[in-house]
């Protein structure tokens, strides 16, 4: 390995050459190999050795189901290298993809606006440079002003994109909704240069899918979640969605189980007993 190069992963795996020189390979099949990933290259060792410098990779992520051999596999990562397309898979696919994204992103500098939005209110914060570190659980950002921002990869609620001028250049912006250290809904806006945009998009899309995979909300449940997010009181929800209180309480219980909402304070519902009515009557009679 070259000076400063570190090995991130060395494991068995498979690759499928899905396209060469812009031409799809219809009869492509998976080849067993050893995958060695470093901070500078991907090495595939089978009957022959292929070396792919990370700087040659133009795009990462997204499915490329060139045939049934590819379509029949649940998870793989797609590499676009000029006019070639390579699919890779490993026994621990999520860990492999995290290591691959780390190889591209770790310790690079991107642009960050945090918090861009807090509690639904635009904050007017300035763009700053931030150093990136990726873990299995989070995207960690060390911002130039001393902030340390953590975006949990299981905590990405939504990602919108926009085009804006940052540092004198028109850039693609990712508006990432998540929660901060005090469990408040915030948006962190991030962007980068060249290859960074491709990798950030793949990581953020995967984070959104992690959340979607765990949820199957009904239209009423979706309406309730959006109402709570925009500040409607939980006590006003029955009138807001025109549902019975008991039905809303059952929905709240389900949303709590799904970790979509949490209980802050229990409200005790009471009614008078016969003894209570007697006490009240005596009290009223004494006035």
- Select the highest-mean-pLDDT range: 38-47, 52-61, 274-283: 38-47
pLDDT value of residue 108: 92
Q: Where are the domains of the chain?
A: 7-91, 109-213, 216-279
* Matching fold, domains 7-91 and 109-213: yes
Q: What is the mean pLDDT of residues 175-198?
A: 89
* CATH code reported for the domain at 7-91: 2.30.29.30
- Computed over every residue of the chain, the mean pLDDT equals 86
pLDDT value of residue 258: 72
Provide the pLDDT confidence category of residue 162 given band limits of 50, 70 and 90.
Answer: very high
pLDDT value of residue 272: 57
pLDDT value of residue 257: 76
CB distance 130 to 144 below 8 Å:
yes
pLDDT value of residue 281: 65
Read off the pTM: 0.69
pLDDT value of residue 2: 72
pLDDT per residue as tens digits for the range 204-255: 988 887 766 556 677 888 788 878 877 788 888 888 888 888 888 888 888 8
Q: Does domain 109-213 have CATH number 2.30.29.30?
A: yes
Q: What is the mean pLDDT of residues 196-210?
A: 86
Nearest of 106, 112, 100 to residue 134 by alpha carbon: 106
Q: What is the mean pLDDT of residues 253-261?
A: 77
pLDDT per residue as tens digits for the range 102-122: 999 999 999 999 999 988 888
Q: Cβ contacts of residue 50 below 8 Å, gap of 6+? A: 43, 44
CB distance 164 to 170 below 8 Å:
yes
Q: What are the tokens at 75?
A: 């998870």
């Amino acid at each position: 390995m070259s000076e400063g190069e570190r090995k991130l992963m060395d494991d068995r795996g498979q690759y499928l050459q899905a396209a060469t020189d812009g031409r799809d390979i219809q009869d492509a099949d998976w080849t067993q190999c050893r995958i060695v990933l470093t901070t500078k290259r991907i090495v595939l060792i089978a009957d022959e050795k292929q070396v792919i410098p990370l700087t040659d990779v133009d795009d990462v992520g997204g499915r490329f189901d060139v045939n049934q051999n590819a379509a029949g596999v649940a998870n793989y990562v797609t590499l676009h290298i000029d006019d070639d397309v390579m699919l890779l898979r490993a026994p621990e696919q999520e860990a492999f993809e995290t290591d691959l994204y780390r190889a591209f992103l770790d310790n690079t500098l991107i642009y960050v606006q945090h918090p861009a939005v807090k509690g639904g209110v635009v904050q007017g914060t300035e763009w700053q440079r931030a150093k990136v570190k990726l873990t299995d659980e989070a995207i960690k950002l060390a911002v130039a002003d001393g902030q340390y921002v953590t975006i949990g990869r299981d905590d990405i609620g939504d990602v919108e994109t926009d085009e804006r001028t940052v540092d004198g250049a028109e850039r693609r912006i990712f508006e990432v909704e998540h929660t901060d250290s005090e469990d408040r809904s915030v948006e962190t806006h991030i962007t980068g240069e060249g290859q960074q945009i491709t990798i950030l998009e793949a990581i953020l899309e995967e984070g959104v899918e992690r959340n979607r995979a765990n949820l199957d909300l009904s239209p009423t449940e979706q309406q309730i979640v959006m109402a709570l997010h925009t500040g409607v009181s939980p006590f006003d929800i029955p009138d807001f969605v025109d549902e019975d209180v008991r039905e809303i309480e059952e929905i709240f219980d389900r949303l709590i189980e799904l970790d979509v909402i949490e209980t802050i304070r229990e409200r005790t519902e009471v009614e008078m007993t016969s003894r209570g009515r007697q006490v009240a009557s005596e009290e009223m009679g004494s006035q």
